[in-house]
Amino acid sequence: MTNSIKVLAAGSLRRAWQPLCEAFTEKTGTKVNAEFGPAGLLRERIEQGERVDLFACANTSHPLALQQHGKALSVDNFCGNSLCVTARKVPELETLNWLKVLLDSRFRLATSTPKSDPSGDYTWQMFENIERRHPGAGEALRNKALRLVGGEKSAKVPEGKLAAEWLICSGQADVFIGYTSYATLLRENDELEVFNIPADYNVRAIYALATCTEKGKPLAEFILSETGQHILQNAGFCGKHSVMPE
């Protein structure tokens, strides 16, 4: 299809992407063909020669690496996220805070996969924050964590399901660390409890666009526009102005 833009995008953007693309197509008449997956694995595909017009990533390092290797024309921060804890709703949770839930030996903790998926990288950064404040606790969480999604060999999360919801409700884990942008949807499930993570422990996730061709520029500009930013914020992300480097 000649009048279309090919995009590879981080899986956590899936909820926001449909309304973004519908609004863009209505404005420009150009369709968007998107494929979602762990951002690290998508970056490898581009490095290996797959031609795409835009890469929407859950961190800045992958897009900047593409730019450094001549695979991207420009890189722009476009939204942000943070982490939260989702747990199976059981009576034991009533006496526990988010950190005690993570450390409790009765609960199986699942995460995404570091290096393959930025969500896993951000989670490991949070473990480092915990370790600095509670020596031994961050190391215990790294050893305890089951890396069940986001890896090259990970089972695929079923279509229409969130990773936390699927892993916990299918009995594969009791607790999952994932993105705050999903919190509103997760709280609609009566089987789940969502815990916010305090800012001094949490990690600021910065998402970036790698514009790979001239064809991808109009879509990047739309995502960075006031309309695009409003759509992202409605999907649970924070805007680009709140994620610029300090």
What are the residues facing 8 on neighbouring strands? 35, 55
**What integer best gives the mean pLDDT of the chain?**
93
**In contact, 40 and 112? CB cutoff 8 Å:** no
Residue with tokens 């833009």: 5
Strands 109-112 and 175-179: parallel
**pLDDT tens column, 140-184:** 999 999 999 999 899 989 988 999 999 999 999 999 999 999 999
C-alpha span between 146 and 78 (Å, rounded)? 30
Q: What is the pLDDT of residues 89-145, one digit of tens each?
A: 999 998 999 999 999 999 999 999 999 999 999 999 999 999 999 999 999 999 999
Q: Which pLDDT value is given to residue 182?
A: 94
pLDDT value of position 3: 82
| CA–CA gap between residue 242 and residue 65 (Å, rounded) | 23
Confidence of residue 188 (pLDDT cuts 50, 70, 90): very high
Note whether 32 and 218 are within 8 A (CB). Answer: no
Rounded to whole angstroms, how far apart are CA atoms 168 and 139?
Answer: 23
pTM of the shown model? 0.89
Phi, psi of 47 (to 5 degrees): -65, -30
